[in-house]
């Protein structure tokens, strides 16, 4: 596996000519966006001035309507304007980076892990009403199949006034890999919110009475048990998957990502959801691509995701699956 420092070198050396070209595109685009924003602001303000009769009839509702309207129009125009730039950034920076990590990985900026696969992971039990995603990567690392993409799953709510709001079920990276052990039941590992919120006594009581989930499986690693809660329908098999070293590796992975990590083992596959709460691998118009922090975010996230195969030792072949 290519190291982060190798990939950083690749980013700043091999991609440098591309980055400078994109940098020019970006600054032009930024100036254009600033100009358009000013014009848009003036137009909206003029409209506001006329409607409020020269700012004499201002009320809070009107201000809110204008603010929301401006945000919606602004957002729409912004997305339209950066679309070309984002596409060329993805094909000229993200794709070469992925190929550099492993040449057999394929990348599609528009595609996503399909919804039925996401549902099949059993990680999130809420009904999904809207499902989006992009930046799809698939291939093999050390003969382990790996597929991942950005995913955003949402749920629709209607309040008493009939207004529709959306809440996020999950937003972040969703990863599917093959697993090196045979298993026939499912094991679900979730961040332990009950135990952190309510302490171990009430927390574990709440966990064991979690309707909609299988049996609670208590793990014999106190550190792991503090961070995660495990549900499954086979006490022995879940422990066959979650050996002491596997639990340590999962804890290590959680530390490295610094995000909430959800893992499940269903139908011979391992599903991993890392909650970044933002759309990854998107370029920012207002920050330079040459900025170290910006570069590191792309490089580190990609490296970490693909290195999961090694991190969790999924490439360690067991006799039973040879």
Partner 1 sequence: MTILVILGVIALIVVLMYNSLIAKKNQVENIFGGVDAVLKKRYDLIPNLVASVSRYMEHEKSILEKVTELRAEANKPNLSDKEKIDLDTKITSALGSIMVAVENYPDLKANENVMNLQHNLTEIESQISAARRAYNQAVTDYNNAVEMFPTNYMASYMSLSKKDVFIISEDERKNVNVREMFNA
> Which residues of the shown chain bind partner 1 in the complex (CB under 8 A)?
218, 220, 235-240, 243-246, 316-320
Residues 22 and 294: beta-carbon distance below 8 Å? no
Return the number of other C-beta atoms located less than 10 Å from residue 23's C-beta.
13
Nearest alpha carbon to residue 287 among 26, 75, 92: 26
- Which of 13, 320 has the CB closer to partner 1? 320
Q: Which is nearer to partner 1, 35 or 317 (CB)?
A: 317
Q: Is 127 or 245 the residue whose CB approaches partner 1 more closely?
A: 245
Q: Which residues in 142-268 belong to E strands, given as ranges?
A: 144-158, 164-178, 187-191, 215-217, 228-232, 260-266
Residue number, 154 or 237, with CB nearest to partner 1: 237
What φ, ψ does residue 33 adopt, rounded to 5°? -65, -40
**Shortest separation between residue 237's beta carbon and partner 1, angstroms:** 7
Q: Measured from the CB atom, is 215 or 269 closer to partner 1?
A: 215
Bridge partners (DSSP) of residue 144 are: 141
Give least dist CB 98 to partner 1, A: 28
The answer to whether 306 touches 141, Cβ cutoff 8 Å, is yes
How far is residue 300 from each of residues 97, 132, 136, 188, measured CA to CA in Å?
A: 11, 23, 17, 27
């499940």: which residue's tokens? 264
Q: Which residues does 98 contact at the CB level (< 8 Å), separation at least 6?
A: 105, 107, 137, 302, 306
Question: In the complex with partner 1, which residue's Cβ is closer, 2 or 249?
Answer: 249
Q: How far is the CB of 145 from partner 1 (least distance, A)?
A: 20
- Give the residue with the Cβ less far from partner 1, 148 or 183: 183
Q: Decide whether 106 or 244 has the Cβ nearer to partner 1.
A: 244
> CB neighbours of 207 closer than 8 A, spacing ≥ 6?
192, 194, 195, 216, 229
Instruction: Please count the other Cβ atoms lying within 10 Å of the Cβ belonging to residue 255.
Output: 10
In the Cβ-directed half-sphere of 10, how many Cα atoms lie within 13 Å?
A: 20
Tell me the closest approach of the beta carbon of residue 266 to partner 1, in angstroms: 18
Q: Please, what is the minimum distance in Å from the beta carbon of residue 246 to partner 1? A: 8
Closest contact distance (angstroms) between CB of 312 and partner 1 is 13
Tokens (6 digits) for 115: 């919804």
């Amino acid at each position: 596996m290519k190291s982060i420092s190798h990939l950083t070198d690749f980013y700043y050396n091999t991609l440098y000519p591309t980055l400078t070209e994109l940098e020019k595109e970006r600054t032009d685009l930024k100036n254009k966006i600033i100009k358009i924003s000013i014009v848009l602001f003036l137009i909206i303000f003029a409209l506001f001035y006329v409607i409020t009769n020269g700012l004499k009839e201002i009320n809070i509702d009107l201000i809110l309507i204008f603010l929301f309207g401006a945000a919606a129009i602004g957002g729409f125009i912004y997305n339209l304007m950066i679309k070309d730039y984002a596409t060329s950034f993805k094909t000229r920076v993200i794709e070469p980076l992925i190929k550099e990590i492993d040449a057999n990985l394929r990348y599609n900026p528009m595609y996503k892990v399909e919804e039925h696969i996401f549902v099949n992971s059993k990680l999130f039990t809420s009904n999904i009403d809207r499902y989006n995603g992009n930046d799809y990567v698939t291939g093999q690392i050390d003969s382990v199949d790996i597929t991942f993409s950005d995913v955003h799953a949402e749920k629709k709510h209607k309040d008493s006034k009939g207004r529709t709001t959306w809440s996020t079920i999950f937003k972040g990276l969703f990863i599917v890999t093959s697993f090196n052990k045979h298993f026939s039941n499912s094991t679900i590992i979730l961040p332990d919110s009950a135990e952190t919120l309510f302490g171990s006594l009430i927390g574990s009581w709440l966990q064991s009475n979690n309707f909609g989930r299988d049996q609670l499986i208590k793990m014999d690693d106190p550190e792991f048990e503090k961070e995660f809660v495990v549900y499954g329908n086979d006490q022995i098999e879940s422990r066959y998957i979650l050996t002491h070293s596997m639990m340590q590796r999962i804890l290590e992975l959680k530390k490295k990502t610094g995000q909430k990590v959800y893992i499940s083992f269903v139908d011979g596959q391992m599903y991993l959801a890392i909650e970044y709460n933002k759309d990854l691998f998107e370029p920012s118009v207002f920050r330079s691509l040459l900025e170290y922090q910006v570069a590191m975010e792309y490089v580190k996230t990609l490296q970490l995701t693909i290195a999961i195969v090694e991190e969790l030792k999924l490439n360690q072949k067991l006799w039973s699956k040879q």
